[in-house]
């Protein structure tokens, strides 16, 4: 399973493409999916996208989630493979849903990559730091027990 870590500042070019950090590229060589997620865009390796889709399909089959959620998940996603320069296209509707213009914060989120508008990221990042501290203090699988 691929793990993505780090925080990078990048820009979207005039053709709507984003150059991925070099450490992320090889992990997406087999393809990936871009989808809106939690006020940003997520780039999911194919195996992670499949895992999420399988879980969502199971939730729909069990009646826990309406089929409209599955439709939305699938209809908003775009399948991509980085080109030889490590670029992926960001379709206009995805850039709009993610609130992305030119400047982008690219963050590793372990099983996925997240693309954030810098202003949104600056409001989310401090909260994440506080929650990480709480998780470590509570012994939620992080740090020594």
Neighbours of 112 (CB within 10 A): 21
pLDDT score of 133 more than 90: no
**Alpha-carbon dihedral angle through residues 83, 87, 93, 96, given to the nearest 10 degrees:** 170
CA torsion 69-58-2-47 (nearest 10°) is -90
Number of structural domains the chain divides into: 1
Alpha carbon distance 54, 57 (integer Å): 5
Q: Tell me the average pLDDT of the chain.
A: 90
Would 132 be classed as within a structural domain? Answer: yes
CATH code, domain carrying 94: 3.40.1550.20
Q: Give this prediction's pTM.
A: 0.85
Q: Residue 123's pLDDT is what?
A: 86
Q: In terms of pLDDT, which residue wins out, 140 or 116?
A: 116
Q: What is the CA radius of gyration of the chain?
A: 16
* Domain assignment of residue 13, yes or no: yes
The model's pLDDT over 21-67, given as tens digits with 9 standing for 90+, comes to 999 999 999 899 999 998 999 999 999 999 999 999 999 999 999 99
* Rounded average pLDDT over 113-136: 76
Please report whether residue 143 resides in a domain. no
pLDDT digits (tens, 9 = 90+) for 54-77: 999 999 999 999 999 999 999 999
User: What one-character DSSP code corresponds to residue 20?
Assistant: P
Range of the domain at 101: 7-138
| 32 vs 137: CA distance, rounded Å | 35
* Inside any domain, residue 110: yes
């Amino acid at each position: 399973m691929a793990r993505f870590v780090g925080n990078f500042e990048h820009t979207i070019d005039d053709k709507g493409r984003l150059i991925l950090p070099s450490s992320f590229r090889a992990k997406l060589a087999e393809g990936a999916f871009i989808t809106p997620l939690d006020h940003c865009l997520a780039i999911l390796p194919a195996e992670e996208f499949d895992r999420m889709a399988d879980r969502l399909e199971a939730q729909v089959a069990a009646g826990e989630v309406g089929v409209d959620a599955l439709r939305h998940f699938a209809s908003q996603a775009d399948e991509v493979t980085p080109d030889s320069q490590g670029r992926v296209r960001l379709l206009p509707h995805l850039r709009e849903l993610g609130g992305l213009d030119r400047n982008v914060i690219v963050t590793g989120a372990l099983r996925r990559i997240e693309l954030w508008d810098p202003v949104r990221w600056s409001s989310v990042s401090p909260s994440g730091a506080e929650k990480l501290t709480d998780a470590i203090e509570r012994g939620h699988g992080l740090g020594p027990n």
